[in-house]
Amino acid sequence: MEMGPPTESKRPPRRARSIARRAALVVATVVAGWVTLIVHPQPLFAYSAQRANVVLHARAPLPREAGPMLDEVVRRLSRSPLYDPARIHHVFLCDTPSLFALFTLWHRKAGGVTQPQFVGNVFIRPSNVVRGRVIGPSGDEKPGERTLTYYVAHEVTHAMTGDRLGRWRYAHLAAFQREGYADYVAFDHRVDLERGRAALLRDDAEMSPQRSGLYRRYELMVAYLLERRGMTVDELLGQAMDRRQVEAELVSAPTL
């Protein structure tokens, strides 16, 4: 019986398989190291200050202004029914853009980032604690109501929300629920519903997260649902909601 030509094995050569295994091991090691760092970054931050259940970590001694700032953060957080005084929240002040990028990856231009998919640690970009300001990617301090107090409270609210909902449900919140509620807690002001609706109808830039980088539109929607619709916070965060439907209802409401 005649034999056909030998068939070539499609299996990669031994050397190629060895290289692939080594590359996979390197990637797995890097990922594991990064996750470990996200979960327990304390060794990189030698100094800390605590008020109630919020701990602020830094790589340099913290000025005395850190204490009153943390007191105000706790005051704002404690207004939320999600607040648990027994749950310790760790906030890490990154003193360089590169350190902040290490913890936040593609979110390195944000003012702060929470990692609720792990243990809920909060990372804040370089800041001037004495002046109570976060320093933006341009090197200038971020102006207006978005103070360092605001950023810390906003990010810890994300952690509190993740604690209440769990990782899966938190990840599937609409942006207006997640960011709107965080702003609703973090700002020390009452939302003017009529003014906000007028700005929404005019399509003001401040009402567009894409154009302004602000969440005023989302905060307005959350305030409407909590204060006019009478929703509880658990109802607000515990169900899938259509942003366009909520906006249409808000715009057509006879009185606010």
Per-residue model confidence as pLDDT tens digits over 152-164: 999 999 999 999 9
Query: Are the CB atoms for 73 and 153 separated by under 8 Å?
Result: yes
Q: Is the dihedral of CA 40, 44, 46, 52 positive or negative?
A: negative
**Mapping DSSP to helix (H, G, I), strand (E, B) and coil, where does residue 185 land?**
helix
- So what's the pLDDT on residue 13? 78
Query: Are the CB atoms for 250 and 176 separated by under 8 Å?
Result: no
What pTM did the predictor assign? 0.90
Residue 62 is classified by DSSP as P
Tokens 């009402």 correspond to what residue?
207
DSSP track, 119-139: T--EEE-SEETTTTEEB-TTS
User: Which residues in the chain are classed under CATH 3.40.30?
Assistant: 34-166
- So what's the pLDDT on residue 232? 98
- So what's the pLDDT on residue 147? 98
Tokens of residue 180, six digits = 């709107």
Beta strands in 72-198 (DSSP E): 89-93, 112-114, 122-124, 127-128, 133-134
- Show the CA angle centred on residue 136, arms to residues 130 and 137, nearest 5°: 140
Q: Specify the CATH architecture of the domain 34-166.
A: 3-Layer(aba) Sandwich (3.40)
pLDDT below 50 — which residues of the chain? none
